Amino acid sequence: MKRLAGLLMAGIMAVSVIACGTANGNGETAGAAETAGTGDNAEVYTVKWVMPGNEPEDLPEIEEALNKKLVDDGMNLQVDIVRIPWDAWEQKTNLMLTTGEEFGLLHIMQDQGSVMSKGVLYDLSEYLDKYPDLKGRFDEQAWSEMTTKDGQIVAVPAQWQVMQPLGQLSIRKDVLDKLGIPLPETADEVMEAAVKIKEYVENETGQKAYYWTQNTKYPAEWLERTYDTYPFYVDRVNNLWKVDQDGKVTSWFESEEFKKDAQYYREMYKNGLISPDLLTKNEVWEVQNKGTVIMGDCYNWGTVKGLRDAGYPEADLEFYFLNEDTARVLPLTIGNMNGIPESCTNPEAVIKFLDWFYSDASNVQLVVYGIEGKHYNKVEGEEKKIEILKDDAGMALYQFDNWEVGYYPYSLFDREEPEESIIQQTTPLEEGTFVTSPVAGFIFNEEPVITEMANLTNEVVSSMYPIKFGFVDYEEAYDDAIAKLKAAGLDKVIEEYQKQLNEYLGK
């Protein structure tokens, strides 16, 4: 996911960010004293909810239906969902913030967490106490991840699914079965199996096939589970730091584990398993439509369905962990959230809206899945499954990103989704099956090292990623690459991260 870099700029902190009041008859903005939307006789308050992504064709109709429900429930509230395309998200939201354009809710993704510590979001603590039903929907750990080191709750979770521990690997089980190869249990066995799967898939499809990662910035967590030093957590945005379970922070790129990763991926590259275009074009979500999936660190049931829809009806994936008995690390319990700007004239009205929105499954399901009978049909006898209605080209008539607004007890699934997958996404993890990383809930404030972070972000991609993915040999390129990171301020960033994490952990 793209980062809202504009929010991290120091200049933005000085701006009176967002007024989210409603306009009165004179075109002025209603102030907090008017408490729009919070009383029986209050004027109607419109919550403008800004999220990334393209607007579905039928979204206006969905909004109309949602707003009718608000009126019927006597809420004195309306909602205006604004979708901003990905290619304009950063620029547009930055402009909205700096010009003071009015809106009430800002979607924040997991790799934008640092915006929570910048003083641009409202402290919601006192308002959440007035809405115990909303507060009670999420556990203590979830709220801790919405809380700054100063004790301010600055966002409401969008807990669209139960977050899963890191390190799962997915591999073409149907091809393994056809080749008579058992499920690989070690890193060496994965390499051998992947080479054979690649050959089979390329012969079957007539196209090149590779290993794909969900995002090039993600570390090789599936592989790192096999190391004796595991469990640990690696920064998933820039890969700059490694955090052990005792809270010790070290430089990831200077670790022996990174060296092992790089050497393994170098062998993958030599075996033709890494796309030569990976750093410029990551086709992870496109290959299912081509039938060229081998294995990856991110695939799910949707990938299986995509393969089958593309003309490979026997396609199947195995989702599993290498070194099964080793602890699984959970770095966070909430992937996404929605915050209210600090300058909002009536945050209570926005909290009131969210309290209503999450009070009934039909509210969330209307936004995410559309109108029953027009966009989907319920599957008889199945509480969680629906038939998604499609056009002549096989495209869903309505699509909305559940991860932006969802709540996992309300999630619905395609009628073909396996029960195992549904259970995994909607059932809280059992105690003892995972360990929570010390960084869960920790928000790193980049401001003290913002220049170094900007320099390192660019340097990591240009100097370290070619080593990380095996394009160049570790021994040949490492010394020069790490010297550039050091010059860009790596040591200072690691020191600052450790300092802030110690404060968070009370050390």
- Render 307-356 in DSSP notation, one character per residue: HHHTT-TT--EEEE-SSTTSPPEE--S-SEEEE-BTT-S-HHHHHHHHHH
* Amino acid at site 63: E
Which residue bears the tokens 């700029």?
Answer: 9
Task: Render pLDDT for 275-297 as a digit per residue (tens, 0 to 9).
Answer: 999 999 999 989 999 999 999 99
Q: Look at residue 487 and give its three-state secondary structure.
A: helix
Residue 431: exposed, middle, or buried by beta-carbon count in 10 A (0-12, 13-18, 19+)?
exposed
| DSSP code at position 214 | S
Are residues 119 and 11 in contact, defined by beta-carbon separation less than 8 angstroms?
no
The predicted model gives 299-312 an average pLDDT of 91
Whether the per-residue pLDDT at 98 is higher than 80: the answer is no
Interatomic CA distance for residues 114 and 116, integer angstroms: 5
Axis-axis angle for helices 450-459, 490-505 (nearest 10): 120
User: What 3-state class would DSSP assign to 401?
Assistant: coil
| Tens digit of each residue's pLDDT (9 = 90 or more) over 404-425 | 999 999 999 999 888 888 998 8
Q: Are 155 and 121 in contact (CB under 8 A)?
A: yes
Peptide bond into 231 cis (omega under 30): yes
Residue 368 pLDDT > 70: yes
Q: How many CA atoms lie within 13 A of 173 on its CB side?
A: 13
pLDDT at 113 over 70: no
pLDDT category at 14 given cuts 50, 70, 90 is very low
Task: Name the average pLDDT for the chain.
Answer: 88
Please name the residue that has the structure tokens 């004195």: 76
Confidence of residue 21 (pLDDT cuts 50, 70, 90): very low
- Of 164, 155, 105, the residue nearest 135 (C-alpha): 155
321 vs 420, residue with greater confidence: 321
Distant-in-sequence, close-in-space partners of 185: CB < 8 Å, separation ≥ 6: 322
Upper half-sphere CA count for residue 78 (Cβ side, 13 Å): 13
Residue appearing with tokens 């991290």: 8
pLDDT at site 40: 60
Pairing assessment for the beta strands 317-320 and 169-172 based on DSSP bridges: antiparallel
pTM for the structure as a whole: 0.76
**Does residue 315 register a pLDDT over 60?**
yes
Which residues, in sequence order, are CB contacts of 14 under 8 Å at separation 6+? none
Q: Which of these ranges, 89-93, 221-225, 260-264, 461-465, has the smallest mean pLDDT?
A: 89-93
